[in-house]
Structure 1
Amino acid sequence: MPGPGQSDGSALVVIDMINTYDHEDAELLLPSAERAVPVLAELISRARAADAPVIYANDNFGLWRSHHGELVDTALSRPHAGLVEPLRPDGDSLFVVKTRHSIFYDTPMAYLLWELGVGTVVLTGQVTEQCVLYSALDAHIRHLDVTVPTDAVASIHPHLEAAALEMMERNMGARIVRAKEVDFRGTR
């Protein structure tokens, strides 16, 4: 992996998948999340096997005292723990607690990616038309390459997901691919 400031590496970013699914619109999100979880679990496994950083960027459930272990434990104690367990962070996973939609807003994400030598972020998780979209824009303006595997993201509104993916591709130069096309051994 390149050293600090060298941007040759790629990282898998898992957005808001440590989730209790007890929020507004959760019932609309659940079918899409159920489809994405097995694909995302495989992608996480592939990233780990390739020694690519796996970074979880997650909301804090409004519990400002929360740390990642508490967030994971809370999500695993809820009825939809089956969507969280396959994606559980391991001991090498990195974790950034986010405050708003973008993984970059008021977080150390940009510095972390620079420190890791990451030039390409593979954005996965939920919700495509919100947090993934805003994170892609913020990655783009930070001169990071963006890849979004369409089968490893989940949405509330499919028509907005389609529009968001098109915007990421057209306006941000994002690579919109299937998860099987993501190669962590090298970058583009």
Structure 2
Amino acid sequence: MAKEALLIIDYTNDFVDNKGALTVGKPGQLLENSIINLANQFVEKDNWVILPTDLHKKDNPYHPETKLFPPHNLANTWGHEFYGKLQPWYDQHQDDAQVYMYDKTRYSAFAGTDLDLRLRERNIKTIHLVGVCTDICVLHTAIDAYNLNYNIIIHENGVAATSKAAQEFSLNHFKNILGAKIDR
């Protein structure tokens, strides 16, 4: 049976909690149970759960986001920790062979990482995307996945954007431009 991977993108305090530096707020918070349920399903089926997580250094003059956004997801901070139930879920499963967390420094989970190599060596051809922000990191990850010929499934009840308009645009882009399946 072909293996698949669930990517839980940037589901951290800084992006989801009300006190987060770049929070999507309530829409992101409402994803929590759906994301945990999906993660449990993937682990039970011996599929992969991968947690690509944004990481930055404060005032890094070489990073383009420094000029665009306030400091966020800084190393060793509360903001970089997983939001809500995902942190204890990860703590419980981090030693599972098929659960893998890594830090990323760009919007796409593929940019500057070994994600493509890890997926290919495990013969994974289909990736499921959840997390935040639908219109930034999830979108850029999906575009790279498309360009690398992965089958893409977006879980609509597992993604939140910076606005309703951005959410609608992104979901349409996934479906109509990238050929992704939208799981409702």
TM-score category, normalised to shorter length: 0.7 to 0.9
Give the SS at the match of 1:14.
Answer: strand
Residue of structure 2 aligned with 1:51, choices 19, 38, 46: 46
Distance 1:39 1:86, change over 3 A: farther
Q: Which amino acid aligns with 1:145?
A: N
Report deviation, 1:60.
1.4
Q: Which residues of 2 match residues 133-148 of structure 1 at below 5 A?
A: 133-148=139-154
Q: Is the 8 A contact 1:127 1:154 kept in 2?
A: yes
Give the SS at the match of 1:110.
Answer: helix
Give the SS at the match of 2:102.
Answer: strand
Give the SS at the match of 2:125.
Answer: strand
Q: Following the alignment from structure 1 to structure 2, what is the Cα–Cα distance between the partners of residues 81 and 59?
A: 13
Percent pairwise identity: 25
Q: Following the alignment from structure 1 to structure 2, what is the Cα–Cα distance between the partners of residues 121 and 145?
A: 6
Higher share in helix: 1
Q: Following the alignment from structure 1 to structure 2, what is the Cα–Cα distance between the partners of residues 161 and 103?
A: 19
TM-score, structure 1 length as denominator?
0.77
Gaps of 5+ in 1: 2-7, 65-69, 179-188
Q: Which amino acid aligns with 1:35?
A: L
Give the SS at the match of 1:103.
Answer: coil
Match of 2:63 in 1: none
Residue of structure 1 aligned with 2:171, choices 159, 165, 169: 165
Match of 1:183 in 2: none
Q: Following the alignment from structure 1 to structure 2, what is the Cα–Cα distance between the partners of residues 161 and 87?
A: 26
Structure 2 residue 31 is the aligned partner of structure 1 residue 32: no
Q: Following the alignment from structure 2 to structure 1, what is the Cα–Cα distance between the partners of residues 87 and 52?
A: 16
Q: Following the alignment from structure 1 to structure 2, what is the Cα–Cα distance between the partners of residues 155 and 52?
A: 26
Q: Following the alignment from structure 1 to structure 2, what is the Cα–Cα distance between the partners of residues 124 and 77?
A: 17
What CA RMSD, in Å, does the superposition of the two structures yield over aligned residues? 2.6
Distance 1:141 1:154, change over 3 A: same
Q: Which amino acid aligns with 2:4?
A: S
TM-score, structure 2 length as denominator?
0.79
Give the SS at the match of 1:47.
Answer: helix
Give the SS at the match of 2:4.
Answer: strand
Report deviation, 1:34.
1.0
Structure 2 residue 81 is the aligned partner of structure 1 residue 75: no
Match of 1:185 in 2: none
Match of 2:103 in 1: 97
Distance 1:75 1:88, change over 3 A: farther
Match of 1:20 in 2: 14
Q: Following the alignment from structure 2 to structure 1, what is the Cα–Cα distance between the partners of residues 104 and 79?
A: 19
Q: Following the alignment from structure 2 to structure 1, what is the Cα–Cα distance between the partners of residues 37 and 29?
A: 14
Residue of structure 1 aligned with 2:123, choices 117, 120, 123: 117
Alignment length (residue pairs) = 163
Q: Following the alignment from structure 2 to structure 1, what is the Cα–Cα distance between the partners of residues 78 and 121?
A: 29
Distance 1:77 1:37, change over 3 A: same
Q: Following the alignment from structure 2 to structure 1, what is the Cα–Cα distance between the partners of residues 101 and 151?
A: 21
Give the SS at the match of 2:112.
Answer: coil
Runs of 4+ deviating beyond 4 Å: 21-24
